[in-house]
Amino acid sequence: MNIRSQVSMVFHLDKCIGCHTCSIACKNVWTDRKGAEYMWWNNVETKPGTGYPTQWEDQDKYRGGWEKNSQDKLVIKSTGKARVVPNIFHNPHMPSMDDYYEPWTYDYQNLFNAPEGADQPIAKAISMITGEDIDIQAGPNWDDDLGGSEIYAANDPNLAGLTEQQRLQLNSVERLVFYYLPRICNHCLNPCCVASCPSGALYKRGEDGIVLIDQKRCRAWRSCVAACPYKKTYFNWFTGKSEKCILCFPRLETGQAPACFHSCVGRIRYLGVLLYDADRLEEVANMPDNQLVEGQRSLILNPHDPEVIRGAQSAGIPDSVIESAQQSPVYKFVMDWKIALPPHIEYRTLPMLFYVPPMSPVIANFEDGLANHSMDSLFHGIDQSRVPMQYFANLFGAGHEGVVRYAMGKQLAVRWHRRAETVGDVDRATADRYLHEADLTVEDAEAIYRLTSLCTFEDRFVIPPMHREQAIEMIKDPYEVKAETGFGFVGGPQRGL
Amino acid sequence: MSQHVLDQFMFVALPYVCLFTFFLMTIYRYRMQSFSYSSLSSQFLENKHHFWAVVPFHYGILVVTAGHFVAFLIPRTLLAWNSHPLRLYVLEITALAFGLLTFIGLTGVIVRRLSSSKVRIVTSPTDWILFAMLLIQTGSGISNALVYPWGSSWFATSMAPYLWSILKLSPDVTFVTAMPWMIKLHVVLAFLTIGFFPFTRLVHVLVIPNPYLWRKPQVVRWYGRK
Ligand code: HEM
Ligand code: SF4
C-alpha cells in the first residue's frame, strides 16, 4: 500500500442556483489578464446543454482522456510516445479559440467622445484579441438557462441513448427542466494532461494532489490542452504557456477556501482530504466501464482504520492531515453515503471532484390543466424524474444507471424522512419504508440533511494544514525566501520575443 | 576596405562573434528568463491553415539542417557515398526536395501570419526579421543547389574543412574566399542567424523534449524532494 492524500471536492448540484458568482470570483483573482481573457477555470454550464468549450464532452471530436487500445492497454487518446513527434508541430486534436469564444469588450469611450450626430452613440463590441470590431458569435455560457435550447441543447452528448420520448420529456411545455453544472479542474488521480506533456511541465503535488503546470517548463507543445477530456487546461495565446485551475493553492496553504468555494452563493461546495492507495491506480484505471465508479471508491481508504492510519504515518503524511481526513465532508458524501459521483469516469482520469446529482423540482400532476397535489405523488419517484436517469447515468455513471439510482434513492428518502419530521403529513412508516429501500438509517438521513442544508463554513471546508513552510520549498530555496522576504522581486510573465 | 580585410571580417570575425553570442546569450536567457523559452505556438488562434504552414516547414528545415550537420561531421563518408553517381543523384534530389518543402512551408508561415489578424497580433518585429532571414537563407540555399550542383560533395571537400578550422580556433578561409558570392551570402547569413538565434523564438529548438520518451506517464513532485 502506498498511501497518499488528496484534497478533494464535492459539488451538490441541487443547491446550485447558476449565479456564476464562483466564475467571477475566479476570473477576478486569476484570469483577468492578457492572454487569459477567454479562460474560465471555473465555469457554470446549463444542462442539458453543450457547455464550454462547445460540446467538450464529445470525445470523438476532442479526443480527450484515456482509451483502451486493441491490446487492452490504457493509452492517451490524443497522443502517445509514437505520435508525439508528428503531433508536436501541429496537434490534430487541439481545440482552437473558435471552440471556446473570442473574448470581447465594448468601446465605451465612444459614448463620451462621439461627435454630435443625429443618432445616439453606441458602444460597439470589439475583440479583446485584435481590437477590431467583432460580430459576436458565442460566449462561455451562450446557452445559459436553456437560451436557444432546441438548437444548442440538442447537441448535448449526454443525450445519447435517450429515447425520443425521454428527450421530449426534457423540454415539453410545463415540464421543461434544466440544472447547472459548475466545473473546475478535477485534480484527477490519473491525469491525462500530466501524462501527455512532452516536457514534463505538468505535475501532481505529492502532498495534496493538486495538479499544476510549471510555467517555466511549459514550452507550448499544447498536448495537455488536447489531452484533458474536461478541457480544463487552457492555452494562454499571449504568453505561449498553458494554464489551469490551481485550486487556489496559495489560499489553501494559508487555510482559506479556494475563491470559487468561498464565494459560492448556493453553498454547494465542499472540500476535504481523502486518503487513497496510489499502488492500485493503474489497476483501477483499467477496469471495465461499469466497475469504474466502484473501483475508484475502492482506492479511497477509511481514515479511521488503524491500519490505514499506520500506513499513512509511515508514508510521511502528517497527523494533522490524517485528522483532517477523518473530518472530511467529502469522505462522507463519497464513501459513507455514496451519493456523490465522479463526472464522466469513463474518461479514466479518476477525477477527484464529485457531484451529488440533482433531484428535479417537486412536481404536481396536471389533470385537466389543474395542478393536483395528491399525497402519494408529493415526491415523484425516481423514474418519473423529469431528467431521465439515463441522462445522469451518461454524465455520472459511465452510462450505467445503478450508481445514479442508488444516489438518487437516498436523496429521495431523505426528503420523505424530513417531510415526516417537519411537516408531519407523511406518516413515519412511509418514511421508514423509503429509508429502508434506499439503504439508509435515520441517523445517516439526518446527517445528510444537516450537511446539505444546515452546513456552516467549517462543515463545508475542512482544509488540511498544508504546511506552507514546506510547500515553499517547491518554488524557492527557503533560505533565499527568508533572506528576501518583503523585498523579493516578482516579475510579470514576459512573452518571449 | 581591401578584399582581404573584408574576408577576414566576414569569415573569421563574424563567425566568432555570432557563435560567442549564441552560447552566451542562450545560456543567459535560459537562466534568467526561462519563462520566455517557448515555441509560442499560434495554433490556438488559427487552426485552419496552421498545418499546411508549420508542418512542411519543420519537416523541411529539420532534414536540411540535419544534412548540413552530417556533411560537417562525416565528410569522408559522404564523399564515399557520393562516389556512385546514382547515389549522388538520390541524395541531391532528396536534399533539394526538402529545401523546397522548407521554402513552401516558410512562405505558408509568412502568408498565414499576414492574413490572420489574430496571428498578426502575436507576431513581433523580431519574428518578421527572423522570417526574412530564413526566407533569404532558404532561397539562397535552393539557388545554390540549382546553380552550383553537387553541393553535397563540394560542401564536404570545401566547407567542412573551413567550418572545422573555425571550430579548432585556427581559421583557414582559403576555401570560402574562392566561392561565388551567392554561396558566401549563404555562409554569412547562416552565422548571422546563429548570432540572432538567442534573441528569437528559435530558442524552442534547444528545449525539445526528450525525457518524455522514457519517463513514466505520471509526474509527482514532493516538497523538498528534487
Ligand atoms: C525538433 C525540433 C523542433 C520542434 C519540436 C519545433 C516545434 C515548433 C513548434 C511547436 C512551433 C509552434 C508552431 C505553432 O503551433 O504555431 C514551432 C514554430 C517555429 N519553429 Fe520550430 N521546432 C523545431 C525545430 C525548428 C528549427 C530547426 C527551426 C528553424 C531554424 C524552427 C523554426 C521555427 C519557426 C520559424 C517557427 C514559427 C512558425 C510560425 O510562425 O508558426 N523550428 N516550432
Ligand atoms: S456560486 Fe455556487 S450557486 Fe452560484 S453558480 Fe457557482 S456553484 Fe452555483
Q: What is the pLDDT of residues A235-284, one digit of tens each?
A: 999 999 999 999 999 999 999 999 999 999 999 999 999 999 999 999 99
Partner residue facing B33 (CB), from A129, A237, A494: A494
| Contact assessment for residue A154 and residue A49, using Cβ atoms and an 8 Å cutoff | no
A79, pLDDT greater than 70? yes
Question: pLDDT at position A466, please?
Answer: 86
Closest CA to A321 of A308, A333, A332, A334: A308
What is the DSSP secondary structure assignment for residue B222, as one 8-state letter?
A: B
Q: How many helices (H) and strands (E) does chain A have?
A: 22, 16
Q: Tell me if A17 CB under 6 Å of ligand 2.
A: yes
- If you ran DSSP here, which 8-state letter would residue A196 be given? H
Check B219 against A200: CB less than 8 A apart: yes
Please tell me the number of Cα atoms within 13 Å of A109 on its side-chain side.
1
Residue A478 has pLDDT above 90, yes or no: no
Confidence of residue A496 (pLDDT cuts 50, 70, 90): confident
H or E stretch covering A37: none
Q: List, for residues A53-65, the tens digit of each pLDDT value.
A: 999 999 999 999 9
Q: Which residue has the cell 465605451?
A: A108
| B223–A contact, CB cutoff 8 A | yes
- How many residues are present in chain A? 497
Residue burial A305-318, b: 16+ Cβ < 10 Å; e: rest: eeebbebbeeeebb
Q: Is B70 in the pocket of ligand 1 (CB under 6 A)?
A: no
Spacing, Cα B58 to ligand 1 middle (Å): 6
pLDDT at A493: 80
Q: Please indicate, yes or no, if residue A436 is contained in any of the structural domains.
A: yes
Between CA A468 and CA A145 the distance in angstroms is 41
Percent of chain A with pLDDT over 70: 94
Please tell me which residue of chain B has the smallest CA distance to A202.
B219
Task: Tell me the mean pLDDT in the region A276-293.
Answer: 96
Strand, helix or coil at A125? Answer: strand
First-last CA distance in chain B: 57
User: For residue B18, which amino acid is it?
Assistant: C
**Lowest-pLDDT range, A119-133, A141-155, A210-224?**
A141-155
Q: What is the mean pLDDT of chain A?
A: 91
**Residue B213 burial (10 A CB sphere; 0-12, 13-18, 19+):** exposed
Q: Is A213 part of a structural domain of the chain?
A: no
**Over its length of 226 residues, how does chain B's per-residue pLDDT go in tens digits?**
688 899 999 999 999 999 999 999 999 999 988 899 999 999 999 999 999 999 999 999 999 999 999 999 999 999 899 889 999 999 999 999 999 999 999 999 999 999 999 999 999 999 999 999 999 999 999 999 999 988 888 998 899 999 999 999 999 998 899 899 999 999 999 999 999 999 999 999 999 887 787 888 899 988 866 5
How many angstroms separate the CA of residue B41 from the nearest CA in chain A?
6
ipTM of the complex: 0.93
Half-sphere exposure of B215 (CA within 13 A, CB side): 17
Tell me: pLDDT of A89 over 90: yes
Q: Does the residue A33 lie in any domain? A: no
DSSP 8-class letter at B225: B
Ligand 1 pocket, residue B204 CB under 6 Å: yes
Strands (E), A110-224: 125-127, 179-183, 202-205, 211-213
pLDDT given for residue A43 in this prediction: 97
Grid cell digits, residue A435 = 429509508
Instruction: Choose among B40, B217, B225: nearest Cβ to A496.
Output: B40
d(CA A254, CA A232): 25
Res. A370: pLDDT tops 70? no
Q: Model confidence at A473, in pLDDT bands (50, 70, 90)? A: confident
Backbone phi, then psi, for A17, in 5-degree steps?
-100, 5
Q: What is the pLDDT of residues A391-450, one digit of tens each?
A: 999 999 999 999 999 999 999 999 999 999 999 888 899 999 999 999 999 999 999 999
Give residue A342's pLDDT: 98
Q: Smallest Cα–Cα separation from B200: which of A199, A496, A335?
A: A496
For ligand 2, the distance from its centroid to the CA atom of residue A257, given in whole angstroms, is 15
What single-letter DSSP state applies at residue A21?
H
* Cis upstream peptide for A361 (omega within 30°): no
In angstroms, the CA A126 to CA A144 distance is: 22
Which of B210, B218, B225, B226 has the most A C-beta neighbours within 10 Å, making it the best mutation to test the interface with A? B218
Cβ neighbours of residue A457 closer than 8 Å, sequence gap 6 or more: A257
pLDDT of residue A378: 66
Helix, strand or coil, per DSSP, at residue A66 = strand
The secondary structure of residue A203, as a DSSP letter, is E
Q: What is the pLDDT of residue B216?
A: 86
Q: What CATH number is given to the structural domain containing A353? A: 3.30.70.20
Q: Tell me, what DSSP letter sits at residue A190? A: S
Task: Look at residues A435, A431, A411 and name the one whose alpha carbon lies nearest to residue A421.
Answer: A431
Where is average pLDDT lowest: A158-162, A283-287, A344-348, B34-38? A158-162
Number of H helices and E strands in chain B, helices first, is 11, 1
Please list every residue in chain B whose beta carbon sits closer than 8 Å to the beta carbon of residue A95. 44
Assigned superfamily of B3-34+50-213: Transmembrane di-heme cytochromes, Chain C (1.20.950.20)
Give the pLDDT score at A162: 86
Residue A128 has pLDDT above 70, yes or no: yes
Bridge-based pairing of strands A202-205 and B220-221 is parallel
Closest by Cα among A283, A389, A349 to A59:
A349
Tell whether B22 lies on the interface with A, counting CB pairs under 8 A. no
For residues A342-371, give the mean pLDDT: 82
> A175: closest CA among A165, A190, A163?
A165
Q: What's the pLDDT tens digit per position in A297-333?
A: 999 999 999 999 999 999 999 999 999 999 999 999 9
> What residues of A are in contact with residue B55 (Cβ under 8 Å)?
89-90
Q: Would you say residue A366 has pLDDT above 60?
A: no
Alpha helices (H) in A247-368, listed in sequence order: 249-252, 259-263, 281-285, 292-299, 306-314, 319-326, 329-331
Q: State the sign of the Cα–Cα–Cα–Cα dihedral A312, A318, A322, A325.
A: negative
In a domain, A275, yes or no: yes
Assess whether pLDDT exceeds 80 at residue A375. no
Sequence letter at residue B107: T
Q: What phi and psi values does residue A211 have, to the nearest 5 degrees?
A: -95, 125
* Partner residue opposite A194 with nearest CB, options B38, B127, B218: B218
What value, to the nearest 5°, has the Cα angle with vertex A64 and ends A145 and A188? 85
* Domain span at A292: 266-460
Pick the closest to residue B192 from B143, B153, B152, B140 (CA basis).
B140
Rounded Cα gap, residues A66 and A227, in angstroms: 8
Q: Is residue A426 part of a domain?
A: yes
Query: Which residues does chain A have within 8 Å of residue B106's beta carbon, measured at their own beta carbons?
Result: none
Q: What are phi and psi of A367, to 5 degrees?
A: -125, 120
Report whether the peptide linkage leading into residue A121 is cis, meaning its omega lies within 30 degrees of zero: no
Ligand 1 pocket, mutate which of B109, B205, B206 (most atoms under 8 A from CB): B205
> What is residue B149's predicted lDDT score, i.e. its pLDDT?
87
Beta bridge partners of A272: A8
Domain tally, chain A: 1
Calpha distance B187→A22 (Å, rounded): 58
User: Residue A100, Cβ neighbours under 10 Å: how many?
Assistant: 22
